[in-house]
Every structure is written in structure tokens, then in C-alpha cells.
Structure 1
Amino acid sequence: MSHHDKPIITVLTAPGEPEPPGIDAIRARGEVRLAWDEETLRESLPGTRVMMVTDFRTDALEAAWSTADRLEWIHATSAGVDALMFPALIESDVKVTNARGIFDRSIAEYVLCTMLMFIKDFPRSMRLQAGHKWKHRDTERAEGREVLVVGAGSIGHQIARLARSIGMNPHGIARHARTDDEDFIAVHANEQLFEKLEVADFVVIAAPLTPQTEGLFDSKAFAAMKDSARLINIGRGPIVNTDDLIKALNKGEIAGAALDVFEEEPLPEDHPLWDMGNVILTPHMSGDFIGWRRALTDQFLDNFDRWHKGEELFNNVNKKLGYAGS
């Protein structure tokens, strides 16, 4: 490919969303077309060789897919690619990469924060402070607590590293067991999930949404957990059956939950989770550090340089599995 041949790059954003910061650096390397729905995609996809997707209501992409005549590579500016995985794309030769790595540390800091908030009873302290009530309590210690990270990918490793740094014992769950992991005490195979749930003080969901993980945390999983355990979900909302979670919290089957993702987003204003004292809620923001949008563009540009030179891309997603990695 000659350097005079400026490839066409389509950037799919949400309607009304501003252009990604740093897009001028992309314009310097190719012809940039912007799309935000099926109609604009149908106009921009013919001739497009590369896509950068910042919006994941992908029914538009699936609907306009037949117009993608030269597409070679789609880059998703998120770690989770579940919303992109429609059959025609999975079956195609189009490569998919993701934003693995950008949000790992930030999400791990969020998880550490929520674990410590539970351990030191901070949500209650903040409620008492709001009510001007002085109420001394004894609280828990983090040291020696068992943490089970479901999904031992790059985010899971950062969570384990930070948990370990304050004396907690992190174990992982992944497709294959590993004993030689530097961050986890051990990584166990998926089949061992339930026996590991029985001993965990904190269960952290850091798995991608796949047909195997959808609805994985249901009444059966909560019944297996210790009644003193807390659930933290920074993965995807549908991995947890929300109705079963609410029942488990109300029955005291588990002690609390910190949730950044939900089956329905935004969470409806009248949803029972808002008013539960043992639940910490955030609006899908655990990874979003100040400056993350520009960091995503820079990561895309690094990979674009490799594509332009005909080199192997990094963060290749295994489309059959639905995530980057083996």
C-alpha cells in the first residue's frame, strides 16, 4: 500500500456526541467519515477500510453491514465488545480490536475503593454524617480477606495486584487454571466457581459478557456465597440477575453489593436498588478517569500505525470467544 493512498476511516459515534478528542491526528492519516446511525453508516461504509467505534448501539452497524465492501478492521474503544458481536461480523474476515489496557488500573482502583468502603463501613458513616449523628462502631480489617475475581484478564490482574498490596488474598476464575500467576494466589478453572464462591469475602465480576457469563450470578450463585460476602460488578450488568440479587440482599444471603453496571442503563429512578443501604451504586463510570477519551484515540492511532505498515495488530479480539486474549 502506497503512502499516497489515504485509507477511509469511519468513526461511529452516538448521535449528538462530540468528535473524539484527537480526531485531527486521525485526519492526518486518512479520510475520516463520521457516522451516528444506520443512514449515515450506509453513506460512509462503502470504501471504508477501518472503523473506530465509540458507540455500541450496534443494531445500526448490523443493519448497514451489507454496505461494508472494503472493511478490514474495526476498533472498539471499550474493553467489552459484547454489543459488537453480531453473526455477520463474527463470520467475516474483519479483524476486531478493543481498548484492553486503558481502563485496567482505573477500574482496579474503583474495586479497591468499594471493598474498603464496605470494610470500613463508609456508606453508613456518610449517612450518619448527613444526619448529624455521632455513632461509634467497630469495623472490619482488609488484611487476610479472601477476594475471588471472576474473569482473570488484564483488568482482573490489576484488581488482584491492588488487593494483594493491602494484604488481601486474591484468587481468580478463568477458562483455564494456572498456578504460576504473579498477581493471583491461584487462578482456578470455570468449573470451580461454586466451590470458590463458598469461601470468598468479596466476589468481583470482571468477566466479559458472553453466552457463558450471561445470568451467571443468579439465586443459585448467591446461595453458594457466604452470608457475609459482598458482590462487586464492574463487568457487564446482564452477568447478574438483578431480581435474584435483590432477593438475596433482602434475605441476608449476601451482605452487600457495589454495582457500576446494570441490566438496564440508566437504572430507572424508581428501581429498588437505589434505596438499599447495603448497596453502592455508580453510573457505569468505574474506568472513566479524566482524559480517558484522548487516551482511547491515542491507542487507536498506535494500532493504526501498525495496520498501515501491514504489521500485526495488538488487542486482537477472538470473535468466537468475544474478548481479547486466548
Structure 2
Amino acid sequence: MSTPTLLLTHRLTPDIASDLHAELANHLPDGALARARTPEETFELLPEADGIVTAGLSEDLLDSATSLRWVQVLSAGVDQYDQDALEARDIALTNASGVHAEPIAEQVLWFLLTFERRLHVGVRQQSRGVWERFEGGELRGKTLGIIGVGAIGTRVAELGSGLGMTVLGTKRTVETAPTVLDDCFAADDHHEVLRRADYVVLACPLTDETEGLLGSEEFRLMPSDAVLVNIARGDVVDEDALIRALQYRLIRGAGLDVFSTEPLPSDSPLWNLSNAVLTPHMAGSTPHKAERWQDIIVENYEVLASDKVDEMVNRIV
């Protein structure tokens, strides 16, 4: 078995790179792991790298990576990577699907409880020093619809089911749907889920097919007391249509962790809407990321060393 070189590029933040380097150093062969702290170091080390761990890949970087066979990214989403260019160069692309499932699912649960128990009303009253009683509801018996039942969607489904919710979902391959779902629909049948769900969670990747998946027509299909939760990508939703749906109460509310433009512009109406709860794209944050990344990276490194790239986990290209 050969000893490929794995490079942590400068595109990783210093904290992430340090944590990941510490985790990987004890699991990879001596001399297999390299770390670049600056663009100059990345370009210097790239020609000898068989694999890289990165948070971005420019055309210049790709052109310099003459020995590259594998790109590992630390996100689940890969919409910012030129998959055609990687495929043309016969370079595998793997993501971190599953790493963020637990923290994101827990944040989804927080969004659901926030709207069901109207906790955002209480927080806003507290900030104004107002004592004004309000009533909350129960999630038990409500219907949860999940658009995109992958690793994250499955964990969301488990938490929702555990609270006594009826759980619907969409999946490209219905036959592989997790048993926790009460009903599963093909990806193209997402309108049926929107029509029936009290809470709709977007957990699908951003692709040509899912860009703008929810627009004006979809918001009119949803019940007027439905709540949208988006932890996928901002562009899965037509943001202008969402703002109108919230302003005119076509839906009851939205819990949003992702936006079309990030950071969210200061003049966005979303900041001031009473029925929108916003977080700054942090749903995937967890102190356990490095150890979970390490599991995926070490497994894929060993596959690369055995020259069995087709067996990599979480392979996209």
C-alpha cells in the first residue's frame, strides 16, 4: 500500500486546521500529513499532494494540483465546487455528509419548539420589559414534512417522531427511505408534503433542480398556519417570495439559518418581521466536528492508499 500525501490547505480557518491536524496526526502514516498556512504554502505543496482537505477550490489551485486524486470538503453542500472540472481530471470529491446531522437536527427542533411554544414572542417581550401572557401549543400530533431525507433529514425525522409527530419526507430514491418516516414521496412530489405539513424542513442539497424549489406557488399550497424551516441553502427558496408570504401571512412563520446572500444585508425585511426567527448559518456548529471529520477522512485516505477510490464514503464525483 502506497503512502499518499494529504494536504490541509490554507482555505481552512486556523482553528479548524489546528484541530483537524491534531486529530489526523495520530491516525495517518508518518509524513503523510501536510498543512499549509498561507496561499504561498498551499501552492508550494499542492504539486505533491494526492489528496487535499479544503474549504474552497479555485481554478488556479486546481491547475497547480498536478498529482491530485481526491478532494475532501468539510461541508455537506458542494454547490460551490466545479464538479465538471474535477470529473474531467478524474479527481474524486467527497463531502462531510452526516457530520452535522446531530447539531442541525437539534437546531431544527429548537425552531419547531420556538414556533409551537411561541418562545420568540416571550424573548421579544423580555427585551422590552413586558409581562404579557400568551398561549403555546404542542408538537405531538402535528405533521412534520422534510424535503430531502439524507443524513440530516433522517435525524430530524427521528427527533420529530420521538415527539409524537407524523413525519413525511421526500427522497430521490424512495426505496431507501428510513423506516422512521410515516410516508415518503419522490423528490418531484414535494408539493404533496407542502400541502399536508404543519412544519416544513428544507434539508436538501442546492442543485440545478432544487434552486428556487419553494416560490410563490409553493407558499400558496402550504396551510396558512404552516412554518418553514430552512437549514439547507438560501437559494433553495425564492427569498423575495418568502418575504411576501411572511408579510401577507400566507404562512405562519419561518425559521432560517441560511440566506441567499450571507451575511444577510442590513436592509433585508427579514430582520424586522415578527414571524421570522433568524440564526447566522451556524446550525452545523458543534464541538465534535473535528473527530467526526477525522473518521471520514481517515477512511477515505485508506481507500485512496489502496487505490480503490470508487469505494470512498460520501463520494459526490
TM-score (norm 2): 0.90
Structure 2 counterparts to residues 191-202 of structure 1, below 5 A: 191-202=188-199
With over 3 angstroms needed to count, the CA separation of the structure-2 counterparts of 1:36 and 1:259, relative to structure 1, is farther
Instruction: Out of 79-88 and 182-191, give the one that drifted further.
Output: 79-88
Give the 3-state SS of the residue equivalent to 2:225 in structure 1.
coil
Structure 2 match to 1:323: none
CA contact (8 A) 2:145 2:194 kept: yes
Instruction: Out of 284-293 and 309-318, give the one that drifted further.
Output: 309-318
CA distance in 1, matches of 2:177, 2:66: 45
Instruction: Out of 266-275 and 142-151, give the one that drifted further.
Output: 266-275
**Aligned AA for 2:19?**
P
**Aligned AA for 1:65?**
L
- Please tell me whether residue 34 in structure 1 is matched to residue 22 in structure 2: no
CA contact (8 A) 1:22 1:298 kept: no
Displacement of 1:34 in angstroms is 1.4
Structure 1 match to 2:48: 47
CA contact (8 A) 2:147 2:202 kept: yes
**Aligned AA for 2:18?**
P
Structure 2 counterparts to residues 144-159 of structure 1, below 5 A: 144-159=141-156
Structure 2 counterparts to residues 155-304 of structure 1, below 5 A: 155-178=152-175, 181-304=178-301
Q: Which ranges of structure 1 fall in alignment gaps of 5 or more residues?
A: 320-326
- Please tell me whether residue 316 in structure 1 is matched to residue 317 in structure 2: no
Cα-to-partner distance string for 1:43-75 (whole Å, 9 max, x where unaligned): 33212111111x23x3x2x23322222111111
CA RMSD of aligned residues (A): 2.2
**Aligned AA for 1:20?**
S
With over 3 angstroms needed to count, the CA separation of the structure-2 counterparts of 1:231 and 1:141, relative to structure 1, is same
TM-score (norm 1): 0.88
CA distance in 2, matches of 1:171, 1:178: 14
Give the 3-state SS of the residue equivalent to 1:172 in structure 2.
strand
Structure 2 counterparts to residues 102-141 of structure 1, below 5 A: 102-141=99-138
Identity value in percent: 33
CA distance in 1, matches of 2:299, 2:8: 16
**May I ask how many residue pairs the two structures share in their alignment?**
311
CA contact (8 A) 1:256 1:279 kept: yes
Instruction: Out of 10-19 and 266-275, give the one that drifted further.
Output: 10-19
CA contact (8 A) 2:116 2:137 kept: yes
> In proportion to residue count, which structure has more helix?
2
Tell me which of 300, 305, 313 is aligned to 2:302: 305
Give the 3-state SS of the residue equivalent to 2:108 in structure 1.
helix
Give the 3-state SS of the residue equivalent to 1:69 in structure 2.
coil
Tell me which of 87, 90, 94 is aligned to 1:93: 90
